[in-house]
């Protein structure tokens, strides 16, 4: 990190996304001494208020840059909400406050094709579930403001996460590899190579994987793995990233 860069404040953080994903991140923020607030889909507000005492914006409340130092947009499977959230934050956050966006399903540049000020965005890829995440892969564009990037780095460090800087592609390095491992294990399962439990045993004992890939997929969320594979497929247009039909079916059950 460049010591001469002036960092933006990171105290009041607005998390935007599905409750399941923003909640563990907001908890980390709170533990780090920040003040998190959640912006949820109207349908999730009530459930959110039951599950946490962290502030949740009401349906008619608006987020603006006066109230927040930094925003973190966390949608993955719901692409429509993702684009809407990015646009909403750009409009609501006038000024130059940093905006972080999760890049599990799209490259950063892809998310920002219509952005008015792409230089204030930083992309992040992290392995779900976010309650167990240990490392954040950060992505910037050539135009990203260095102070904004350094600010986001310091934010993730304050969450107790290790940091890596990676180039721009959907799902960074780790999530891409793990999603492909899960997809390949479903591919083997689909072919009847072995039952799920045996595939997991084989990968844990044969190559020391921390989790069996089938169980790992369930931990991450199969709908999310599917969305990551589709994101990779859309980006590369390569057969290699086609989601296995069995994975698609399992994701819908």
Partner 1 sequence: MPTFPSVAVLGAGTMGSGIAQLCAQAGSTVFLFDAFPDALKRAPQKIEKDLAKGVELGKLSKEQAKVIVDLIKPINLLDECKSADLIIEAASESLEVKVELFSQLDDRVGHDCILSTNTSSLSVTQIAAKTKYPHRVCGFHFFNPATRMRLVEVVAAHQTDKSVIERIVAYAIELEKTPVVTKDTPGFIVNRVARPYYGEALRALGEGLADHMTIDRIMREGGGFKMGPFELMDLIGIDINFAATSSVWEAYFRDSRYRPHLIQKQMVDAGFLGKKSGRGFYDYSAEGK
Give the footprint of partner 1 on this chain (CB under 8 A). 126-127, 133-135, 137, 162, 164-169, 172-174, 176-178, 180-181, 183-185, 187-188, 191-194, 198-199, 201-203, 205-211, 213, 238-240
- Judged by beta carbon, residue 41 or residue 194, the one nearer partner 1 is 194
- Judged by beta carbon, residue 39 or residue 182, the one nearer partner 1 is 182
Q: At what angle do helices 196-206 and 174-190 cross, to 10 degrees?
A: 130
CB of 133 to partner 1, least distance (A): 8
CB of 132 to partner 1, least distance (A): 9
CB of 203 to partner 1, least distance (A): 6
Nearest to 101 by CA among 130, 121, 116: 121
Q: At what angle do helices 196-206 and 213-220 cross, to 10 degrees?
A: 110
- Judged by beta carbon, residue 94 or residue 201, the one nearer partner 1 is 201
CB of 245 to partner 1, least distance (A): 14
- Judged by beta carbon, residue 53 or residue 237, the one nearer partner 1 is 237
CB of 41 to partner 1, least distance (A): 28
- Judged by beta carbon, residue 211 or residue 248, the one nearer partner 1 is 211
* Tokens at 61, concatenated: 């409340």
Listed in sequence order, the residues at least 6 apart from 14 whose beta carbon sits closer than 8 Å to its beta carbon are: 36, 37, 38, 39, 63, 67, 68, 70, 71, 72, 89
Residue 197: helix, strand or coil by DSSP?
A: helix
Count of alpha carbons within 13 angstroms of residue 202, beta-carbon side: 11
CB of 211 to partner 1, least distance (A): 8
Residues in the chain: 253
CB of 95 to partner 1, least distance (A): 31
Please, are residues 203 and 184 in contact by the beta-carbon 8 Å criterion? no
| Phi, psi angles (nearest 5°) of residue 139 | -130, 135
Provide the b/e sequence for 144-179 (b: ≥16 CB within 10 Å).
bbebbbbbbbebbeebebebeebebbbbbebbbebb
Query: H or E element: which one contains 124?
Result: strand 121-125
- Judged by beta carbon, residue 37 or residue 183, the one nearer partner 1 is 183
The span from the CA of 11 to the CA of 26, in Å, is: 12
- Judged by beta carbon, residue 89 or residue 196, the one nearer partner 1 is 196
């Amino acid at each position: 990190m460049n010591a001469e860069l002036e960092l933006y404040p990171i105290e009041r953080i607005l998390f935007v996304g599905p409750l399941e994903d923003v909640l563990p991140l907001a908890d980390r923020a709170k533990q780090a001494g920040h003040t998190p607030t959640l912006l949820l889909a109207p349908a999730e507000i009530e459930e959110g208020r039951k599950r946490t005492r962290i502030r949740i914006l009401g349906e008619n409340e608006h987020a603006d840059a006066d109230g927040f130092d930094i925003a973190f947009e966390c949608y993955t499977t719901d692409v429509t909400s993702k684009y809407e959230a990015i646009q909403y934050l750009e409009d609501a956050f006038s000024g130059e406050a940093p905006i972080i966006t999760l890049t599990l399903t799209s490259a950063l540049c892809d998310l920002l094709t219509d952005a008015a000020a792409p230089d204030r965005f930083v992309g992040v890829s992290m392995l779900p579930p976010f309650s167990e995440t240990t490392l954040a892969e950060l992505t910037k564009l050539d135009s990203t403001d260095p102070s904004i990037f350094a600010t986001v780095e310091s934010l993730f460090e304050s969450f107790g996460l290790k940091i890596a800087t990676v180039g721009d592609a959907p799902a960074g390095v780790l999530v891409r590899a793990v999603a492909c491992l899960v997809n390949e294990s479903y591919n083997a399962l689909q072919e009847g190579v072995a039952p799920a439990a045996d595939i997991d045993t084989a990968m844990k004992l044969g190559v020391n994987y921390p989790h069996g890939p089938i169980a790992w997929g369930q931990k991450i969320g199969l709908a999310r793995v599917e969305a990551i594979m589709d994101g990779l497929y859309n980006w590369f247009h390569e057969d290699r990233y086609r989601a296995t039909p069995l994975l698609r079916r399992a994701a819908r059950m």
